[in-house]
């Protein structure tokens, strides 16, 4: 038996048509054949290696390195848009979930690139987005539970 419940929105901010349109526009930006290949690589071939293993296996400029860049750049942009208040956080996490798996799989590479490139802010908005997603998930249990 499946039970359904509708949780209260924690932010209290009403979702507008503009919020929905921006979410859909961002989704369209990352809905290309190249993005599909990057997602397929990320969830298939990429195993969340250590930075050293990743760097040895995928040289900067390689197709796989570019896949990693493209896959994570989406979350960087979305994190910026949420941080500045342009993208509705509740609506975003309702659609995409907490991003915990994406961040956990990416973080060692991100940390390694920050150090190697001496760029401490590299993908910081992705990291912050995943942190916000974790907090969101704790406040929003699944709407449907199996009994």
Q: Hey, where are the domains in the chain?
A: 16-140
pLDDT tens, N- to C-terminus, the chain (147 residues):
444 333 344 455 789 999 999 999 999 999 999 999 999 999 999 998 999 999 999 999 999 999 999 999 999 999 999 999 999 999 999 999 999 999 999 999 999 999 999 999 999 999 999 999 999 999 999 988 887
Q: What are phi and psi of 125, to 5 degrees?
A: -75, -30
101-130 residue pLDDT tens: 999 999 999 999 999 999 999 999 999 999
Q: Does the predicted TM-score (pTM) go above 0.85?
A: yes
CA distance 95 to 48: 24
Contact yes or no for 138/97 (Cβ under 8 A): no
């Amino acid at each position: 038996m499946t039970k359904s419940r509708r949780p209260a929105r924690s932010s209290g901010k009403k979702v507008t048509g503009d919020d929905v349109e921006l979410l859909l526009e961002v989704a369209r930006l990352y809905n290309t054949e190249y993005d599909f290949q990057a997602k397929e690589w990320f969830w298939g071939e990429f195993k969340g290696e250590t930075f050293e293993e990743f760097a040895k296996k995928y040289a900067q400029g390689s197709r796989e390195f570019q896949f990693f860049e493209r896959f994570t750049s989406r979350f960087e942009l979305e994190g910026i848009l949420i941080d500045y208040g342009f993208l509705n956080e509740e609506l975003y996490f309702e659609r995409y979930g907490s991003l915990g798996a994406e961040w956990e799989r990416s973080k060692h590479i991100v940390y390694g690139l920050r150090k190697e490139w001496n760029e401490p802010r590299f993908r910081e908005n992705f990291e912050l987005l995943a942190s916000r997603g974790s907090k969101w998930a704790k406040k929003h249990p699944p709407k449907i539970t199996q009994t």
